[in-house]
Structure 1
């Protein structure tokens, strides 16, 4: 799949275009306002906290802001896709520090477990040469369910590692230096150089992009480094939310997204969509546009409250992080709204 940017809409443009032409997903203003009020409560309550401190507050995240953290974030993000299991099945899980983790955190736990065992798993020189049996052992599950798409994860890791070794001094920090503090330059570099990050689709005559993992990588670097040093990006607000399967679920639960009867029936039946098909693209694209609207609404609320200076702390990354955390904190309630399911490397 080509990453030709000249004919491809950016994620923000894609969200707007898809929302304008969608047949099965509608953005509801009342739900946008509801989500914005919730976001504002969190932003207001945490206005004095450093983003980096909040990122490092999770025990599985890097506790330093250095090149080792850069390589940890790149490796984890390269493998950070597709953890869902059918409703009746047990999820892939990894026990670490006395706690059993699932989803994204199961991957973090597995990587940290390997590092504790003396395996240099986040070193591109190491993972560029990984074999399937090695990766299976390193990502072994502590439940009855193995990690999905293991072969695809191996391919993503080895391809990325080889590029870093050959062109960027054996570290993703080399890519950061090449990008020179621009989120958009780094986004283009990542989607050009690393095949598994080329998260695009064709929708109603246009080439659209979502770039979920590429944008998430940049955002996590920004958060980890508190916007300083290797994590400084002059244009960080140019990123959108990270279109996966859980943020749309949260948006639908809050009433910001409304699905057609046909789409709802497919979701309830646990239909597995194909990456890039129209309904799947509409869910993801409308989620991007919905978060843009939530962010704008929350900023208007800040202005009305006489706090326009807090705009710098309120962007699509912060809103995405809030919605992702909100879904995890309200699992039973949000699971009343089924999420869409896809088996792919993009999210």
Structure 2
């Protein structure tokens, strides 16, 4: 099993190329709002159209930001989004006709304003200056995703060169556990599975939610170790395309879910309405 490292451009160039001037700040803005895309039961999904195609979830967010750039909205400039109004953000994230509005819009508005204010106050108005301080990132899914995307965008070189990238864990969201259950790397207790099948929303920070996310991290750590052992025995451990860390395993699992979304519908994913993932 191999994975090309630089696949961060996503479908249809939704994500920037490393040569784009605002590539890093685009990723930063996207990850500031990268949480909780699932709709309420019985409600349509949030769908965004760009260049004649429709997207959901994180890719819908990227499409909305791309569309904003085309409309000359300075979406990567913290001078703009530190004071962005709810009306402006709603327009940027507007869905296609008959689709739902993005969940937690007010919370995304607060996140954008706070992130913009901090960049302006402490980091010269760009995430590039933030990264150069080499701050240590703890177990925070959205922050981890941002670092991993920069690493993948630049193929682990230049601005994306991190000597400690292997210290990142998997990004414990609500889709990766779903795929791990599919592969029998995780197994839910019967009563918890029943609650998930009934679309029960778990309280953020509840024991059930924390256990699912924690077990996700542990499962992927074990998978990563097995992959390292496999490549070492097969003599392919030095291959630049080998899956050798949790970041790449996460990328594979997350994309597997998108490719085989219909087949995985039989497995429920845990729901917790929050800004953290």
Measured against the shorter chain, the TM-score band is: over 0.9
- Give the structure 2 partner of residue 101 of structure 1: 55
Is the Cα–Cα contact under 8 Å of residues 67 and 173 in structure 1 kept in the other structure?
no
Is the Cα–Cα contact under 8 Å of residues 243 and 249 in structure 2 kept in the other structure?
no
> Per-residue deviation at 1:178?
1.3
Between the aligned partners of 2:265 and 2:155, the Cα distance in structure 1 is 32
Between the aligned partners of 2:260 and 2:217, the Cα distance in structure 1 is 21
TM-score using structure 1 length: 0.76
Length, aligned pairs only: 274
> Per-residue deviation at 1:232?
1.2
Between the aligned partners of 1:259 and 1:98, the Cα distance in structure 2 is 40
Runs of 4+ in 1 over 4 A off after TM superposition: none
- Give the structure 2 partner of residue 175 of structure 1: 130
- Give the structure 2 partner of residue 115 of structure 1: 69
- Give the structure 1 partner of residue 160 of structure 2: 231
Match of 1:187 among 137, 140, 155: 137
- Give the structure 2 partner of residue 152 of structure 1: 107
More strand by share: 1
- Give the structure 2 partner of residue 334 of structure 1: 264
Inter-CA distance 274–60: structure 2 relative to 1 (3 Å threshold): same
More helix by share: 1
> Per-residue deviation at 1:86?
3.6
Inter-CA distance 131–105: structure 2 relative to 1 (3 Å threshold): same
- Give the structure 1 partner of residue 22 of structure 2: 68
Between the aligned partners of 1:79 and 1:92, the Cα distance in structure 2 is 14
Q: Cα deviations across residues 112-170 of structure 1 (Å, max 9, x unaligned)?
A: 10110010011111100101111111111114200000000000000010010111111
Matches within 5 A, 1:1-347: 41=1, 43=2, 46=3, 49=4, 51-52=5-6, 54-56=7-9, 58=11, 59-65=13-19, 68-142=22-96, 143-179=98-134, 185-187=135-137, 210-310=139-239, 313-347=243-277
Between the aligned partners of 2:18 and 2:149, the Cα distance in structure 1 is 13
TM-score using structure 2 length: 0.95
Structure 1: stretches of 5+ with no match in the other structure = 1-40, 180-184, 189-209
- Give the structure 2 partner of residue 34 of structure 1: none
Between the aligned partners of 1:108 and 1:64, the Cα distance in structure 2 is 16
Secondary structure of 1:121's aligned partner: coil
- Give the structure 2 partner of residue 195 of structure 1: none
Between the aligned partners of 1:121 and 1:215, the Cα distance in structure 2 is 22
Secondary structure of 1:341's aligned partner: coil
Structure 2: stretches of 5+ with no match in the other structure = none
> Per-residue deviation at 1:308?
2.5
Moved more, 65-74 or 324-333: 65-74
> Per-residue deviation at 1:87?
4.8
